[in-house]
Chains A and B, each alone.
Chain A
Amino acid sequence: MSELSVQFQGVSKKYPHFSLDEIDLELPAGSIMGLIGANGAGKSTTIRILMGLVHQDAGSVRVLGHPMPADQAAAKLDIGFVSEDMRLYGQATLAWHMEFLRPIYPRWDQPYAEALVRRFDLTPQQKIKGLSHGQRVKAALLLALARRPRLLVLDEPTTGLDPVARKEVLDELMAVLADEERTILFSSHNTLDVEQISDQITFIDRGRIIDSDDKEAFLDRWRRLRLVLPPDGAVPRFPGIVQVDGSGRLPVLTTNNFEPAMVSACNELGATVQAVDTMTLEEIFVANVHSRRERLSA
């Protein structure tokens, strides 16, 4: 897993009302990365730069060994890309799309495509314009998967899907990983999906990467400490505490760098640690964005 499928170094892009600043990103082959950010945080711009659809002002991008955007034609043979604004021909059927793509991509896997038609519960003879949103997403994903690309790039693949369709999509993404050479990058604001299947997680906010790590490290580093202070006791302060909530004698400390030694440090300062809570990825994301924005405005 040492080979990198995606590498961004100091990538910047300026727009009149938004800029992407100094993005560094590394995605090892064989893993899944979830890109999490609020709407307008820069997820789609990052993905468009990765695909060579938008050219960066500065910095270097390599995808599957190809420098982007210079080498994008070669890179794209090996990338499957699905995004909301990607249009299929409304007047044509799914079967027509499959026949259209088949001769273009040498690795097109027809038996797999047909298996996906069944698993996604799609009707190949139906025209695209008659499909629901969920069916359209699954159709686009099928067309990308059947090419057996080494890298799958998915912009918000689960947004707007019903729970059944969401599960079908996540199941198929996991199945792709059975092949250790294949890599997935997907963006989402559904942190539950990301928490479940991602190996690597990157938080993006206001055009910057605010944190990027492997998922287990993320979940391990963040904790909430629920304290009980003695009367007139002060809230313990030490490095790694990013947020203090709660009230009076019952403060709740949030840390992004938990060490068991923090508990004894609190005890020495006279505070009793009632509980050390793990946090969900959603709670971590919100606390992360919140503490960073506070620091910037301070």
Chain B
Amino acid sequence: MHSSIVISQSDRRPMYQQIMDQIKQRVAVGEWAPGEEIPSIRQLAIALRVSVITVKRAYLELERERIILTQQGKGSIVAPDPDLGPRLYHEEFQEHLEQATRLGTLLGLSNDEIARRIQEASNRLNEDRLTKEIV
């Protein structure tokens, strides 16, 4: 199951971050369920052909973010938190909102203007969806 993680050498992000992001995605979509056992650090390192220390780093950060749990001598599991998947989506949503707000501020938009633009974007997406359903 872990062979589905793909590390890209042309991706400028550090390898441990690529591993973290892909594990988060798997947890977010429910492919790795809460409480499920995940590969050991060494197993994943060998499967991905990256150093043990890189996977260890990714696991440590994921533990800090309470996405996985590592039990001494027992290996790692996805945190047994049923809301984990939705929580990850919410966190990602929050990050995108903040990024959009930062860009808006850089463009000199007021808070109200930014809120209005988000509303507009949302309306547009809904209209698109409706048109598609009608067609």
Contact = CB atoms under 8 A, between A and B. Distances in A.
Interface of A: 30-32, 170-171, 174-175, 177-178, 180, 192, 196-200, 214-216, 219, 277-278
Contacts of A175: 46
A125 B50 CA distance: 34
Nearest to A198: B51
B54 A215 contact: yes
A214 B52 CA distance: 11
A199 B51 contact: yes
Given A219-B14, A278-B12, A278-B14, A171 B49 contact: yes
Q: Closest 5 interchain pairs by CB?
A: A199-B53, A199-B51, A216-B57, A174-B49, A174-B46
Given A196-B50, A197-B51, A216-B53, 7 more contacts: A170-B49, A177-B42, A196-B49, A198-B51, A199-B53, A215-B53, A216-B57
B20 interface: no
A21 B43 CA distance: 38
Interface string B1-21: 000000001001111100000
A278 to B, nearest CB: 6
A260 B45 CA distance: 29
A174 B51 CA distance: 8
Contacts of B9: 192, 196
Contacts of B57: 216
Contact size class for B?
10 to 19
A237 B46 CA distance: 43
A32 B12 CA distance: 23
Contact of A174 (B12, B14, B15, B45): B45
Nearest to B60: A216
Contacts of A216: 16, 53-54, 57
Nearest to B53: A199
Nearest to A220: B14
B60 to A, nearest CB: 10
B5 to A, nearest CB: 14
Contacts of B45: 174, 177
Contacts of A198: 51
A56 B42 CA distance: 36
Nearest to B50: A196
Contacts of A180: 42
Task: Output the residue of B9, B50, B51 with the most chain A CB within 10 A.
Answer: B51
A32 to B, nearest CB: 6
A216 B52 CA distance: 10
B53 A214 contact: yes
B46 A177 contact: yes
B73 to A, nearest CB: 13
B46 A199 contact: no
A178 B51 contact: no
13 contacts: A32-B51, A174-B46, A177-B52, A178-B43, A196-B15, A196-B49, A196-B50, A196-B51, A197-B49, A197-B51, A199-B52, A199-B53, A215-B51
B111 to A, nearest CB: 24
Nearest to A192: B9
Interface in B111-135: none
Nearest to A197: B51
Interface string B26-54: 00000000000000001101100111111
A93 B39 CA distance: 40
Nearest to A278: B14
A207 B4 CA distance: 43
Contacts of B54: 215-216
B14 A31 contact: no
Contacts of A219: 14
Contacts of B52: 30-32, 177, 199
Contact of A178 (B12, B14, B46): B46
Nearest to A277: B12
A182 to B, nearest CB: 11
